[in-house]
Structure 1
Protein backbone atom coordinates (compact mmCIF):
# COMPACT_ATOMS: atom_id res chain seq x y z
CA UNK A 1 0.00 0.00 0.00
CA UNK A 2 2.70 2.51 1.01
CA UNK A 3 5.05 1.59 -1.82
CA UNK A 4 2.24 1.94 -4.38
CA UNK A 5 1.28 5.34 -3.01
CA UNK A 6 4.92 6.48 -3.05
CA UNK A 7 5.39 5.29 -6.63
CA UNK A 8 2.19 6.87 -7.94
CA UNK A 9 2.93 10.14 -6.13
CA UNK A 10 6.50 10.12 -7.45
CA UNK A 11 5.50 9.54 -11.06
CA UNK A 12 2.67 12.07 -10.92
CA UNK A 13 5.19 14.80 -10.03
CA UNK A 14 7.07 14.18 -13.26
CA UNK A 15 5.80 15.00 -16.73
CA UNK A 16 3.89 11.70 -16.90
CA UNK A 17 0.35 12.42 -15.78
CA UNK A 18 -1.06 10.32 -12.96
CA UNK A 19 -3.73 11.09 -10.42
CA UNK A 20 -1.98 10.60 -7.10
CA UNK A 21 -4.79 12.46 -5.37
CA UNK A 22 -7.28 9.74 -6.32
CA UNK A 23 -5.00 7.00 -5.00
CA UNK A 24 -4.30 9.01 -1.84
CA UNK A 25 -7.97 9.65 -1.03
CA UNK A 26 -8.82 6.04 -1.86
CA UNK A 27 -6.21 4.79 0.59
CA UNK A 28 -7.31 7.31 3.24
CA UNK A 29 -10.90 6.10 2.87
CA UNK A 30 -9.79 2.49 3.40
CA UNK A 31 -7.29 3.27 6.17
CA UNK A 32 -8.36 6.40 8.06
CA UNK A 33 -6.21 5.43 11.07
CA UNK A 34 -3.08 5.55 8.88
CA UNK A 35 -3.82 9.01 7.49
CA UNK A 36 -0.61 10.56 8.87
CA UNK A 37 1.54 7.79 7.38
CA UNK A 38 -0.27 8.12 4.06
CA UNK A 39 0.20 11.88 4.17
CA UNK A 40 3.92 11.46 4.84
CA UNK A 41 4.44 8.85 2.11
CA UNK A 42 2.46 10.79 -0.51
CA UNK A 43 4.31 14.01 0.32
CA UNK A 44 7.72 12.33 0.17
CA UNK A 45 6.92 10.56 -3.10
CA UNK A 46 5.50 13.63 -4.80
CA UNK A 47 8.31 15.84 -3.53
CA UNK A 48 10.96 13.35 -4.66
CA UNK A 49 9.48 13.35 -8.16
CA UNK A 50 9.54 17.14 -8.24
CA UNK A 51 13.11 17.18 -6.92
CA UNK A 52 14.10 14.83 -9.73
CA UNK A 53 12.58 17.16 -12.31
CA UNK A 54 14.36 20.11 -10.68
CA UNK A 55 17.73 18.32 -10.76
CA UNK A 56 17.31 17.07 -14.34
CA UNK A 57 16.48 20.59 -15.49
CA UNK A 58 19.54 21.88 -13.66
CA UNK A 59 21.72 19.43 -15.58
CA UNK A 60 20.38 20.80 -18.85
CA UNK A 61 20.57 24.42 -17.71
CA UNK A 62 23.88 25.24 -19.38
CA UNK A 63 22.73 23.85 -22.73
CA UNK A 64 19.48 25.81 -22.45
CA UNK A 65 21.28 29.04 -21.63
CA UNK A 66 23.42 28.62 -24.74
CA UNK A 67 20.30 28.15 -26.86
CA UNK A 68 18.79 31.30 -25.34
CA UNK A 69 21.87 33.41 -26.07
CA UNK A 70 19.87 35.56 -28.51
CA UNK A 71 17.71 36.65 -25.54
CA UNK A 72 20.69 37.04 -23.21
CA UNK A 73 19.77 40.55 -22.01
CA UNK A 74 16.33 39.46 -20.83
CA UNK A 75 17.80 36.32 -19.29
CA UNK A 76 20.45 38.31 -17.38
CA UNK A 77 17.78 40.73 -16.15
CA UNK A 78 15.40 38.08 -14.82
CA UNK A 79 17.87 35.50 -13.53
CA UNK A 80 18.77 37.28 -10.24
CA UNK A 81 15.09 37.94 -9.52
CA UNK A 82 14.12 34.32 -10.13
CA UNK A 83 16.99 33.08 -7.98
CA UNK A 84 15.82 35.33 -5.16
CA UNK A 85 12.04 34.85 -5.33
CA UNK A 86 11.82 31.65 -7.37
CA UNK A 87 11.81 29.23 -4.43
CA UNK A 88 8.58 30.79 -3.13
CA UNK A 89 6.92 29.98 -6.44
CA UNK A 90 7.53 26.31 -5.65
CA UNK A 91 4.79 26.53 -3.02
CA UNK A 92 2.45 26.40 -6.04
CA UNK A 93 4.03 23.26 -7.53
CA UNK A 94 0.94 21.29 -6.51
CA UNK A 95 -1.27 23.12 -9.00
CA UNK A 96 -2.58 21.20 -12.00
CA UNK A 97 -0.87 21.84 -15.35
CA UNK A 98 1.66 24.50 -14.33
CA UNK A 99 2.75 22.76 -11.13
CA UNK A 100 4.86 20.17 -12.93
CA UNK A 101 6.63 22.90 -14.88
CA UNK A 102 7.63 25.00 -11.86
CA UNK A 103 10.39 22.63 -10.63
CA UNK A 104 11.69 22.42 -14.19
CA UNK A 105 11.80 26.21 -14.43
CA UNK A 106 13.52 26.37 -11.04
CA UNK A 107 16.15 23.89 -12.19
CA UNK A 108 16.75 25.64 -15.50
CA UNK A 109 17.14 28.98 -13.76
CA UNK A 110 19.17 27.46 -10.93
CA UNK A 111 17.11 28.68 -7.99
CA UNK A 112 18.68 28.14 -4.59
CA UNK A 113 18.40 24.43 -3.84
CA UNK A 114 17.48 24.29 -0.14
CA UNK A 115 14.70 26.92 -0.19
CA UNK A 116 13.38 25.40 -3.42
CA UNK A 117 13.24 21.90 -1.96
CA UNK A 118 11.63 23.15 1.27
CA UNK A 119 8.95 25.12 -0.59
CA UNK A 120 8.27 22.20 -2.94
CA UNK A 121 7.79 19.86 0.00
CA UNK A 122 5.60 22.29 1.94
CA UNK A 123 3.35 22.96 -1.03
CA UNK A 124 2.95 19.32 -1.93
CA UNK A 125 2.36 18.29 1.68
CA UNK A 126 -0.26 21.00 2.13
CA UNK A 127 -2.19 19.69 -0.86
CA UNK A 128 -2.39 16.16 0.58
CA UNK A 129 -3.28 17.53 4.03
CA UNK A 130 -6.13 19.55 2.52
CA UNK A 131 -7.38 16.49 0.66
CA UNK A 132 -7.24 14.33 3.78
CA UNK A 133 -8.95 17.04 5.82
CA UNK A 134 -11.65 17.50 3.22
CA UNK A 135 -12.32 13.77 3.10
CA UNK A 136 -12.08 12.89 6.79
CA UNK A 137 -13.01 16.23 8.29
CA UNK A 138 -10.42 18.48 9.83
CA UNK A 139 -11.38 17.53 13.36
CA UNK A 140 -10.24 13.93 12.69
CA UNK A 141 -6.85 15.07 11.45
CA UNK A 142 -5.91 16.96 14.59
Structure 2
Protein backbone atom coordinates (compact mmCIF):
# COMPACT_ATOMS: atom_id res chain seq x y z
CA UNK A 1 0.00 0.00 0.00
CA UNK A 2 2.89 2.36 0.75
CA UNK A 3 4.24 1.91 -2.77
CA UNK A 4 0.81 2.75 -4.20
CA UNK A 5 0.56 5.92 -2.09
CA UNK A 6 4.10 6.84 -3.20
CA UNK A 7 3.07 6.38 -6.84
CA UNK A 8 0.03 8.60 -6.39
CA UNK A 9 2.15 11.19 -4.60
CA UNK A 10 4.60 11.18 -7.53
CA UNK A 11 1.71 11.90 -9.91
CA UNK A 12 0.93 15.14 -8.06
CA UNK A 13 -2.50 16.63 -8.70
CA UNK A 14 -3.61 13.66 -10.82
CA UNK A 15 -2.51 11.30 -8.06
CA UNK A 16 -4.55 13.27 -5.55
CA UNK A 17 -7.55 13.17 -7.87
CA UNK A 18 -7.26 9.39 -8.30
CA UNK A 19 -6.72 8.72 -4.60
CA UNK A 20 -9.69 10.91 -3.69
CA UNK A 21 -11.84 9.20 -6.31
CA UNK A 22 -10.97 5.79 -4.83
CA UNK A 23 -11.67 7.06 -1.32
CA UNK A 24 -15.00 8.53 -2.46
CA UNK A 25 -16.19 5.16 -3.69
CA UNK A 26 -16.93 2.25 -1.38
CA UNK A 27 -13.27 1.20 -1.53
CA UNK A 28 -11.33 1.78 1.70
CA UNK A 29 -8.60 4.29 0.89
CA UNK A 30 -7.11 7.39 2.51
CA UNK A 31 -7.06 10.39 0.22
CA UNK A 32 -6.02 12.55 3.16
CA UNK A 33 -2.61 10.85 3.36
CA UNK A 34 -1.89 11.55 -0.31
CA UNK A 35 -3.18 15.13 -0.04
CA UNK A 36 -1.02 15.94 2.97
CA UNK A 37 2.02 14.20 1.46
CA UNK A 38 1.70 16.24 -1.74
CA UNK A 39 1.31 19.49 0.18
CA UNK A 40 4.33 18.50 2.26
CA UNK A 41 6.27 18.09 -0.99
CA UNK A 42 5.45 21.66 -1.94
CA UNK A 43 2.42 21.42 -4.23
CA UNK A 44 -0.02 24.33 -4.14
CA UNK A 45 -2.47 23.87 -1.26
CA UNK A 46 -5.45 25.43 -3.10
CA UNK A 47 -4.99 23.36 -6.27
CA UNK A 48 -4.38 20.27 -4.14
CA UNK A 49 -7.59 20.85 -2.19
CA UNK A 50 -9.61 21.43 -5.36
CA UNK A 51 -8.14 18.38 -7.11
CA UNK A 52 -8.84 16.15 -4.13
CA UNK A 53 -12.37 17.54 -3.74
CA UNK A 54 -13.16 16.95 -7.41
CA UNK A 55 -11.97 13.34 -7.27
CA UNK A 56 -13.78 12.60 -4.02
CA UNK A 57 -17.02 14.15 -5.27
CA UNK A 58 -16.87 12.09 -8.46
CA UNK A 59 -16.24 8.99 -6.35
CA UNK A 60 -19.22 9.94 -4.21
CA UNK A 61 -21.40 10.13 -7.29
CA UNK A 62 -20.50 6.52 -8.01
CA UNK A 63 -21.99 5.62 -4.62
CA UNK A 64 -25.14 7.56 -5.54
CA UNK A 65 -25.25 5.65 -8.84
CA UNK A 66 -24.87 2.32 -7.02
CA UNK A 67 -27.89 3.22 -4.92
CA UNK A 68 -29.76 4.39 -7.98
CA UNK A 69 -29.43 0.87 -9.40
CA UNK A 70 -32.08 0.10 -6.82
CA UNK A 71 -31.37 -3.54 -6.09
CA UNK A 72 -30.56 -3.94 -2.41
CA UNK A 73 -29.32 -7.52 -2.86
CA UNK A 74 -26.75 -6.29 -5.41
CA UNK A 75 -25.54 -3.65 -2.98
CA UNK A 76 -25.01 -6.30 -0.29
CA UNK A 77 -23.61 -9.00 -2.55
CA UNK A 78 -21.32 -7.14 -4.93
CA UNK A 79 -20.44 -3.94 -3.10
CA UNK A 80 -20.27 -5.41 0.42
CA UNK A 81 -22.20 -2.55 2.04
CA UNK A 82 -23.45 -3.70 5.42
CA UNK A 83 -27.20 -3.59 6.15
CA UNK A 84 -26.43 -1.93 9.49
CA UNK A 85 -24.67 0.95 7.67
CA UNK A 86 -27.63 1.38 5.33
CA UNK A 87 -30.09 1.33 8.23
CA UNK A 88 -28.12 4.04 10.06
CA UNK A 89 -28.00 6.12 6.88
CA UNK A 90 -31.76 5.76 6.32
CA UNK A 91 -32.40 6.86 9.91
CA UNK A 92 -30.00 9.79 9.49
CA UNK A 93 -31.57 10.91 6.21
CA UNK A 94 -35.24 10.30 7.04
CA UNK A 95 -37.19 13.51 6.54
CA UNK A 96 -34.16 15.59 5.57
CA UNK A 97 -33.74 14.85 1.85
CA UNK A 98 -31.03 15.58 -0.68
CA UNK A 99 -29.17 18.12 1.46
CA UNK A 100 -28.04 15.30 3.75
CA UNK A 101 -25.34 14.59 1.16
CA UNK A 102 -23.51 17.44 2.91
CA UNK A 103 -22.55 14.82 5.53
CA UNK A 104 -21.22 12.30 3.01
CA UNK A 105 -17.68 13.10 4.16
CA UNK A 106 -18.33 11.26 7.43
CA UNK A 107 -16.35 8.07 7.89
CA UNK A 108 -18.25 4.75 7.72
CA UNK A 109 -21.70 6.23 7.13
CA UNK A 110 -20.84 8.71 4.33
CA UNK A 111 -20.89 6.17 1.51
CA UNK A 112 -24.10 4.67 2.87
CA UNK A 113 -25.74 8.12 2.91
CA UNK A 114 -25.03 8.53 -0.80
CA UNK A 115 -26.20 5.01 -1.60
CA UNK A 116 -29.46 5.60 0.29
CA UNK A 117 -29.95 8.94 -1.50
CA UNK A 118 -29.56 7.05 -4.78
CA UNK A 119 -32.06 4.44 -3.64
CA UNK A 120 -34.48 7.25 -2.72
CA UNK A 121 -33.92 8.84 -6.15
CA UNK A 122 -32.98 12.12 -4.46
CA UNK A 123 -32.37 15.14 -6.69
CA UNK A 124 -28.94 14.45 -8.18
CA UNK A 125 -28.08 18.15 -8.58
CA UNK A 126 -28.76 18.98 -4.93
CA UNK A 127 -26.91 15.83 -3.87
CA UNK A 128 -23.93 16.79 -6.05
CA UNK A 129 -23.78 20.37 -4.78
CA UNK A 130 -24.24 19.56 -1.09
CA UNK A 131 -21.85 16.60 -1.25
CA UNK A 132 -19.15 18.72 -2.93
CA UNK A 133 -19.55 21.51 -0.37
CA UNK A 134 -19.19 19.04 2.51
CA UNK A 135 -16.14 17.36 1.02
CA UNK A 136 -14.52 20.70 0.15
CA UNK A 137 -15.06 21.94 3.70
CA UNK A 138 -13.44 18.80 5.13
CA UNK A 139 -10.36 19.04 2.92
CA UNK A 140 -10.04 22.81 3.39
CA UNK A 141 -10.13 22.43 7.18
CA UNK A 142 -7.59 19.62 7.04
CA UNK A 143 -5.20 21.62 4.87
CA UNK A 144 -5.67 24.79 6.91
CA UNK A 145 -4.95 22.90 10.13
CA UNK A 146 -1.89 21.24 8.58
CA UNK A 147 -0.51 24.58 7.41
CA UNK A 148 -1.15 26.12 10.82
CA UNK A 149 -3.73 28.59 9.50
CA UNK A 150 -6.27 27.36 12.02
CA UNK A 151 -6.09 25.25 15.15
CA UNK A 152 -8.60 22.44 15.47
CA UNK A 153 -7.70 21.70 19.09
> For the superposition of Structure 1 and Structure 2, which TM-score range results when normalised by the shorter chain?
0.7 to 0.9
Say which one has the larger Rg: 1
Question: 1:38 and 2:48 equivalent?
Answer: yes
Q: How many corresponding residue pairs?
A: 120
CA–CA distance in structure 2, aligned partners of residues 54 and 100 of structure 1: 8
Q: TM-score normalized by structure 1?
A: 0.78
CA–CA distance in structure 1, aligned partners of residues 45 and 143 of structure 2: 7
Question: 1:123 and 2:134 equivalent?
Answer: yes
Where does structure 2 lack aligned partners over 5 or more consecutive residues?
Answer: 1-11, 73-89
Question: 1:49 and 2:56 equivalent?
Answer: no
| Structure holding more helix per residue | 1
Could you tell me which residue of structure 1 aligns to residue 36 of structure 2?
Answer: 25
Could you tell me which residue of structure 1 aligns to residue 18 of structure 2?
Answer: 7
Could you tell me which residue of structure 1 aligns to residue 97 of structure 2?
Answer: 86
Q: TM-score normalized by structure 2?
A: 0.72
Where does structure 1 lack aligned partners over 5 or more consecutive residues?
Answer: 65-77
Q: Structure 1 residue 96: deviation in Å?
A: 0.8
The answer to which structure, 1 or 2, has the higher relative contact order (CA under 8 A, 6+ apart) is 1
